[in-house]
Amino acid sequence: MINIYGKYRPAILGGLILMLVAISDQLITKAEAENSFEPVWEEIKSQSTPAQLYAFLFQLPKGGNLHTHFAGSVPMEYLLEIARDKNRNGGQEFYTRVKINNCGEDCSGRRLDYAGTSAPIVYFQTTREVTWKSLSSCCQSEYKPLSALNEEETAAWLSSVKLDRPGEGRNEFFEVIWHRMGVLFSDPHINPELLVTNMKLFGDEGLRYLEFQLPPRGWRHSDGRSIPAEEVYEILKERLKQEDAVASGVTVRFRNVAIRYLSNAEAQIEEAFAFVDSHRDLWVGVDMAGREDDDKGHPLRFLETFRKMRKRYGGIGLSIHGGEVDEPNTHVRDTLLLGATRIGHGLNLISDPDTLLYMRNREYLIESCLVSNRVLEYFPNLDDHPFPEFLRLGIPVCLNTDDRGMWDSNMTDEYFSAVKHFNLRWDEIVKMGRDSLHYAFVDNAKKAELISAYERDVASFEMKYQNANWRELTSHIEPAISPYALRTFKISN
Ligand SMILES: [Zn+2]
């Protein structure tokens, strides 16, 4: 007798399994709907004080922060603390400019610190001891050791590296601030400490993944010698293995970055790809940064370069700043053509309807940075921000802190802004967190681990609030309230 089922058994079994999976999926969806957290969230949102809402959002599991420039990622108080602490900065003293004399010469030390790039003459420009020693005595007298600043000077130094006063906007940020403290962010002792500090701070806010924009170039030893990229990789890798880094529970990856308006940007892109390709355990993608209202860095300039890179390399994530400008143009579309699957900011996508429609319900993510866009005056009033259009037209978005060090903010502030301005639903909040991991460039095995941990964290967070009084629960949380929140949301601590 011919066993007719024998031949088809695998197919029949496969069919049965699929049916069972489909039925159990339906059951889960139904259960999820019945246990929906939405009513609890609606009550919290409508009845909480700013302080209660802030505490709730501080503890919220948040997934990943995908758009965070390493040098702008840490609160400046921590930078100053580490830069002054000889136990953590490799025993160095840094010098900062507290007055400007008429010395009749260039007192910036930039020839040594930045290999001759131009820098404005500014107060609180910080330099290495070796550079300071090479200056004339007239120039030397303009500087003071960072560790010797009095209280007033310390406050002024901190203010000089933040956008914390009316009238400071884009120009102060792009043209001045970075020159003030560039040497600190090229230091092999300070950077690893900043990295782990940030892992702890963001970990406290419920983040589990950080993808920093960090080019491994330009680092220098205290004697001014430049440090090869390979060594930068080793230094960071070693620091990430240490106990405090591991205990933060935060996974870190980096993207290499080219500065788009520079004349050698094409070479930087090629170098960035080559480096990522050979250090894929830590570096997972390539980005282009630099102010986009400088037309020298327009996206299509780089089309041939990215096509050349695609002939050489596969599996390197592309997240590129696009549309962070006031005027309408096609830069987001052009950036997709470069191969980006994630767009940094994407603000003027709102004025390019064809591309906006094209991106609906597809696998492209927009990295929104609400506080950054407000402080840099792209949208001084967040009510005008296109974020809700992107979110509710079905374009994947996530929230990010960009250069939070310069705006004194944190990730909770991004969520608080989004909730207050755009009345977020619970399912929107959870989807953003999930998408911040789904679109991360970390390898698939780690990503799966991060996503299932996120789902578990969200489920237990919901359960906690379903089973207890939210007013009681939030009263026990002690969130780290950022200075931005204190200034903007009228929260008192
Ligand atoms: Zn950015």
**Would you say residue 22 has pLDDT above 60?**
no
Whole-number pLDDT of residue 115 = 54
Strand, helix or coil for residue 399: strand
pLDDT tens figures, 119-135: 666 789 899 999 999 99
CATH of the domain at 302: 3.20.20.140
Residues 234 and 199 in one domain: yes
Residues 229 and 303 in one domain: yes
Dist. CA 130–CA 382, nearest whole Å: 45
Domain assignment present for residue 490? The answer is no
Residues 264 and 162 in one domain: no
Give residue 275 CA to ligand 1 midpoint distance, Å.
Answer: 21
Give residue 366 CA to ligand 1 midpoint distance, Å.
Answer: 12
**Would you say residue 197 has pLDDT above 80?**
yes
Give residue 273 CA to ligand 1 midpoint distance, Å.
Answer: 19
Residues 172 and 201 in one domain: no
Domain assignment present for residue 80? The answer is no
Whole-number pLDDT of residue 1 = 39
Give residue 259 CA to ligand 1 midpoint distance, Å.
Answer: 11
% of the chain residues with pLDDT over 70? 90
Domain assignment present for residue 305? The answer is yes
**Would you say residue 16 has pLDDT above 60?**
no
Domain assignment present for residue 233? The answer is yes
Please identify which of the residues 193, 324, 367, 462 carries the catalytic annotation: 324
Name the residue range of residue 245's domain: 50-75+187-466
Residues 395 and 425 in one domain: yes
Give residue 24 CA to ligand 1 midpoint distance, Å.
Answer: 42
Active site residue 324: yes
Instruction: Identify whether the C-beta of residue 298 lies closer than 8 Å to the C-beta of residue 324.
Output: no
Domain assignment present for residue 246? The answer is yes
Whole-number pLDDT of residue 35 = 56
**Would you say residue 18 has pLDDT above 60?**
no
Residues 170 and 207 in one domain: no
Instruction: Write down the mean pLDDT value for the chain.
Output: 91
**Would you say residue 167 has pLDDT above 80?**
no
Residues 294 and 443 in one domain: yes
DSSP readout, 19-87?
Answer: HHHHHHHHHHHHHHHHT-SHHHHHHHHHH--HHHHHHHHHHS--EEEEEEEGGGSS-HHHHHHHHH-TT
% of the chain residues with pLDDT over 90? 81
Residues 230 and 102 in one domain: no
**Would you say residue 111 has pLDDT above 70?**
no
Say which residue, 315 or 112, is predicted with more confidence: 315
CA of 309: how far to CAs of 58, 292, 299, in Å?
41, 22, 15
Whole-number pLDDT of residue 172 = 80
Residues 222 and 329 in one domain: yes
When pLDDT is averaged across residues 396-402 and rounded to a whole number, the result is: 98
**Would you say residue 116 has pLDDT above 70?**
no
- For the chain, what is the domain count? 2
**Would you say residue 148 has pLDDT above 60?**
yes
pLDDT tens figures, 256-302: 999 999 999 999 999 999 999 999 999 999 999 998 888 899 999 99
When pLDDT is averaged across residues 163-185 and rounded to a whole number, the result is: 82
Give residue 367 CA to ligand 1 midpoint distance, Å.
Answer: 9
Domain assignment present for residue 88? The answer is no
Choosing from 180, 197, 224, the residue where a domain stops is: 180
Choosing from 141, 157, 180, the residue where a domain stops is: 180
Q: Which of 26-40, 46-60, 167-181, 433-447 is predicted least confidently?
A: 26-40
Residues 253 and 381 in one domain: yes
pLDDT tens figures, 202-222: 999 999 999 999 999 999 999
Residues 62 and 193 in one domain: yes
Whole-number pLDDT of residue 114 = 62
Give residue 435 CA to ligand 1 midpoint distance, Å.
Answer: 18
Residues 303 and 385 in one domain: yes
Name the DSSP class of 172: I
DSSP readout, 188-250?
Answer: TTHHHHHHHHHHHHHHHTTEEEEEEE--S-S-B-TTS-B--HHHHHHHHHHHHHSHHHHHTT-
Q: What confidence tier does 338 reach under pLDDT thresholds 50, 70, 90?
A: very high
Whole-number pLDDT of residue 117 = 56
Domain assignment present for residue 486? The answer is no
When pLDDT is averaged across residues 32-55 and rounded to a whole number, the result is: 89
Domain assignment present for residue 232? The answer is yes
Whole-number pLDDT of residue 492 = 72
Whole-number pLDDT of residue 120 = 66
